Amino acid sequence: MFAGYILIAALLPIFMTVVFVAGSEIAQVQGFHEVLEKKIPMKEIKLPQTSFIKASDGAVISEISKPVNRINLDSADIPLFLKELFVVSEDQHFYEHPGFDLPAIGRALAINMQSNDIKQGASTITQQLARNLYLNTEKSYNRKLSELLYAYEIERSYTKEEILELYINAIYFHNGVYGIEAASQFYFQKPTKELSKAELAFLASIPNNPSMYNPFKYFDRTKERQERLVDQLSEKQLISLGEAEEIKNEPILLNRREQIDLYPDYVTYVEEELSDLIAQQEGFNKKLASAAEQEKEKVEEKLRQRVENVIASGIIIETALDPAIQEKAKESVKNRLPYNDLEGAAVVIDHEKHQVVALVGGKHYQKYDFNRGYQAYRQPGSAIKPLLVYGPYLERTNASLQKKVNAGPYCKNGYCPKNYGGGVYGNVSLERAFIYSYNTPAVRLLDSIGVENGFKDLANFQFSKVTASDHMLSSALGGLSYGMTPLELTAAYTTFANNGYYQPARAIKKVTTMDGKVLYSWKDSQVEVWSKATTDKIRQLMKKTIQSGTAKKINLSNGYAGGKTGTTNDYKDYWFIGLTDQYTAGVWIGKDKPENMKSIQSAAPQQLIWKDMMTK
């Protein structure tokens, strides 16, 4: 400890002399500044702050406090009264000193040497800011000297007003809250501009020792400090004695606010989509596509860090979420699936706007759990037929829906699919084959146009796990290597609502700074997959499926409704994907570890969930 006294005593005079030297010594000062700038490069200071996710109606649905809960205020929005409080209580010579208070340091050094311990720090507001930004709270003379150097560089780079603004935004107010605005909202559920002077003084009492002045644990202690701060203002004649008494006598009523964190199924996906959006617009996708396997991890880590930095900068993510539909979908998935271990997922897309308005990741989904809405790759069963079979076939043949196709037994190269229940139906119309989901006609149709032609059309939808190994006739019935997610499959069906044009469906409308500057937005373009004539026929087939086919449980009274069922081998997955005039919606149900679910087939909960979501 004694060596520390000697060091600080020796270094401080040298430091002060260099800083204040004038005249013939000016060149030395310049050299010293150059050394400091190299050792302590003073980049633009950007305090990390909270980001917000908003629903389509502008309501905040989630606050992302990574790494801290903070809302930065401009100096003009910080009350003068609050600035005076901090200057008077923390650093009365703030506007005169160059970042450190030499007389105060001397007094503190004398006291510390006398007590053989570090009792006083004599830190200015600028030093405290330096400690918050660059250093730690370790009590050592080395850290103290670093603090002085950083404070001096801050003073050279910023005005006093800017330093005070940064300080008031940076300081810790306990309970995970940083900066005055987040503190105001957390402790009083009001913005800073609406706080009374008594409330401002109460909050200003906390940062001096946040643990000691935690208002929820030590309210009386905090109130006593508040009154001392007010008395200090009065002593400095910044307020009158009468006003000081009024401020001290005003009751303080805390009103704790919890952070908003609603709709976890949807919000989790929004955060994932944000990463995809940044990757696309900042070139990470191209780098990943061309990177060697060992390089991909490095690119992915850089992307992860970039996303973290964007979120920490304080952004607003505007989404297409419709809270009413989200709540309806979530409630239906939960209520319609009372069976043990049975899970479900649902997606609703406004197909005119190409926006995801609702997404359910599971019956009892918790934030960051496995989200079945966009992470579960499952076999689509017959739900693939409109995309891989009927769309491509009708586009290439322009066939009438009354054209006959053989629904009898079929075998080719050892592949011998059967109709559900082993039924043999002979020649049937395309319409009948579709609405009753016969299997052998679907395989025959794909075979007739060529498997590659079917997959050429399917490639437009960019299913992430459809591979070259899937290019076989069994895929006509949904027999894929990995399958597709409910979001992917539902988005593909929007093509039938858009006259044959496909465009990816997005949850994010745009990402902006706090003041509204647009940072990111999707720049998707439409791709023509099929003609309007083809999609009109598919719409007609899907409508008949609901009216008299495999989806008779769905019967909406108003407007258009059409869709397609899907059941996989051994009844391990049940699907229904369908359209109304405004929405394309998809429902999947199954078990995370696939098992036979034939016992619930007649109940068709997937169809009932879809109907619940689409009923106004």
Backbone angles phi, psi at 227, to 5 degrees: -70, -35
| Residue with token string 């607003």 | 316
**pLDDT tier, 191 (very low <50, low <70, confident <90, very high otherwise):** very high
Beta bridge partners of 429: 404
Alpha helix locations (H) across 72-124?
Answer: 80-90, 102-115
Pairing of strands 527-528, 404-406: unpaired
382 is catalytic: yes
- Sheet of strand 51-54, all strands in order from the earlier edge strand to the far edge: 60-64, 51-54, 315-319, 508-513, 518-520
| Residue with token string 């009751």 | 251
Say how many C-beta atoms besides its own lie within 10 A of residue 516's C-beta. Answer: 8
**pLDDT tier, 22 (very low <50, low <70, confident <90, very high otherwise):** very low
Query: Can you give the pLDDT at residue 122?
Result: 60
Backbone angles phi, psi at 504, to 5 degrees: -55, 145
Range in 102-106, 461-465, 591-595, 611-615 the model is least confident about = 102-106
| Residues comprising the chain, all counted | 616
| Residue with token string 């597709």 | 484
Tokens read off for 303: 């992307």
Query: Can you give the pLDDT at residue 322?
Result: 98
Rounded to whole angstroms, how far apart are CA atoms 233 and 248?
12
Query: Shortest CA distance to 129 belongs to which of 96, 109, 92, 100?
Result: 100
Per DSSP (E only), the strands in 407-502 are 427-429, 501-502
Rounded to whole angstroms, how far apart are CA atoms 424 and 438?
9
**pLDDT tier, 44 (very low <50, low <70, confident <90, very high otherwise):** confident
Give the active site residue among 65, 382, 437, 475: 382
pTM of the predicted structure, to 2 decimals: 0.89
**pLDDT tier, 412 (very low <50, low <70, confident <90, very high otherwise):** very high
Per DSSP (E only), the strands in 242-396 are 315-319, 342-350, 355-360
Rounded to whole angstroms, how far apart are CA atoms 542 and 128?
67
Percent of the chain topping pLDDT 90? 81
Tokens read off for 251: 């009751």
pLDDT, the chain, mean: 91
Residues ≥6 apart with Cβ < 8 Å to 306: 278, 282, 284
HSE value, Cβ hemisphere, 13 Å, CA-based, for 411: 2
Rounded to whole angstroms, how far apart are CA atoms 593 and 372?
12
Rounded to whole angstroms, how far apart are CA atoms 306 and 278?
8
| Cis-peptide into 41, omega within 30 deg | no
Tokens read off for 211: 């643990």
What tens digit of pLDDT does each residue of 389-400 get?
Answer: 999 999 999 999
**pLDDT tier, 13 (very low <50, low <70, confident <90, very high otherwise):** low
525 is catalytic: no
DSSP run (H or E) holding 405: strand 404-406
Contact 406, 426 (CB under 8 A): yes
**pLDDT tier, 136 (very low <50, low <70, confident <90, very high otherwise):** low
Give the active site residue among 90, 165, 271, 318: 90
Alpha helix locations (H) across 125-253?
Answer: 125-134, 141-157, 160-170, 180-188, 197-204, 219-235, 241-249
Give the sign of the dihedral formed by CA 236, CA 238, CA 244, CA 247.
Answer: negative
Pairing of strands 60-64, 51-54: antiparallel
**pLDDT tier, 123 (very low <50, low <70, confident <90, very high otherwise):** confident
What tens digit of pLDDT does each residue of 259-305 get?
Answer: 999 999 999 999 999 999 999 999 999 999 999 988 999 999 999 99
Rounded to whole angstroms, how far apart are CA atoms 585 and 436?
20
Query: Can you give the pLDDT at residue 36?
Result: 57
Query: Can you give the pLDDT at residue 143?
Result: 56
Query: Shortest CA distance to 421 belongs to which of 402, 431, 411, 407?
Result: 407
**DSSP code of residue 172:** B
pLDDT at 138 over 70: no
Say how many C-beta atoms besides its own lie within 10 A of residue 222's C-beta. Answer: 21
Rounded to whole angstroms, how far apart are CA atoms 343 and 282?
37
Tokens read off for 558: 């108003």
Contact 247, 47 (CB under 8 A): no
| Residue with token string 């391990």 | 572
Query: Can you give the pLDDT at residue 556?
Result: 82
